[in-house]
Structure 1
Amino acid sequence: MPPSKAVFSPLKSVLRFFLDTVRGFLMGVAEVLPGISGGTVALIIGIYERIVFSASEAVRGFLLLFTFSKSKWIEAGARFRSIEWSLLLPLLLGMMIAVFASAALVLPWIESYPSLTSAAFAGLILASLAVPIKLSGGKWGLKDYSSAILATALAIALASIPKAPENQASFWFIFVSAALAVCALALPGISGSNLLIAMGMYAPTLAAVNSLDWGYLGIFVLGAVIGFGSFVGILEWLFENHRKLTLAAMTGLMIGSMRSLWPWQDETGT
Structure 2
Amino acid sequence: MGKNAKYKKSQKRGFFDYVGIYLKGACMGAADVVPGVSGGTIALIVRVYIELVDSLRAIFSKELLHIFKRGGFRRYWQAIHGGFLLALLAGIVSAILLLAGVILHLVEHYPVRVWSFFFGLVVASIFLVLWRISKWRWFTPIFVILGIVAGYFIVTSPVVSMPDTTLYYFLSGVIAVCAMILPGISGSFILLLLGKYTLVMTAVHTLNVGVLLPFALGALVGLLCFAHLLSWLLHHYPNPTLALLAGLMGGTILRIWPWRETSVMAEPHLGLAIVLMVVGACTALVLGWMAARRK
Q: TM-score range by the shorter chain?
A: 0.7 to 0.9
Tell me, in whole angstroms, the C-alpha distance in 2 between the residues paired with 1:45 and 1:260: 23
63, 70, 75: which is aligned to 1:74?
70
Give 1:163 deviation, angstroms: 3.7
**Superposed, which structure 2 residues align to 1:1-270 within 5 Å?**
13-60=14-61, 64=65, 73-74=69-70, 78-138=75-135, 140-164=136-160, 169-266=164-261
Flag structure 2 segments of 5+ consecutive residues without an equivalent: 1-12, 263-295
> Residues 138-196 of structure 1, C-alpha deviation per residue, up to 9 Å, x if partnerless?
2x22321111101111111111123456x651111111111011001111111111110
1:136 is paired with a residue whose SS is coil
Contact 1:61 1:76 in 2 (8 A): no
Residue 7 of structure 1: aligned partner: none
Give 1:110 deviation, angstroms: 2.1
Between stretches 33-42 and 110-119, larger displacement belongs to 110-119
Give 1:61 deviation, angstroms: 6.2
Letter in 2 for 1:27: M
Letter in 1 for 2:53: V
TM-score, normalised via structure 2 length = 0.78
Letter in 2 for 1:239: L
> Residues 228-269 of structure 1, C-alpha deviation per residue, up to 9 Å, x if partnerless?
1110000111012111110110110111121101112239xx
Contact 2:140 2:243 in 1 (8 A): yes
> Quick one: structure 1 residues 63 and 85, their matched pair in 2 at CA, closer, same or farther if it must change by over 3 Å?
closer
Give 1:73 deviation, angstroms: 2.5
Give 1:215 deviation, angstroms: 2.0
Flag structure 1 segments of 5+ consecutive residues without an equivalent: 1-11, 65-69
> Quick one: structure 1 residues 212 and 133, their matched pair in 2 at CA, closer, same or farther if it must change by over 3 Å?
same
Tell me, in whole angstroms, the C-alpha distance in 2 between the residues paired with 1:155 and 1:102: 27
Across the two proteins, how many residue pairs are aligned to each other?
A: 249
Letter in 2 for 1:25: A
Runs of 4+ in 1 over 6 A off after TM superposition: none
Residue 284 of structure 2: aligned partner: none
Tell me, in whole angstroms, the C-alpha distance in 2 between the residues paired with 1:226 and 1:241: 24
2:59 is paired with a residue whose SS is helix
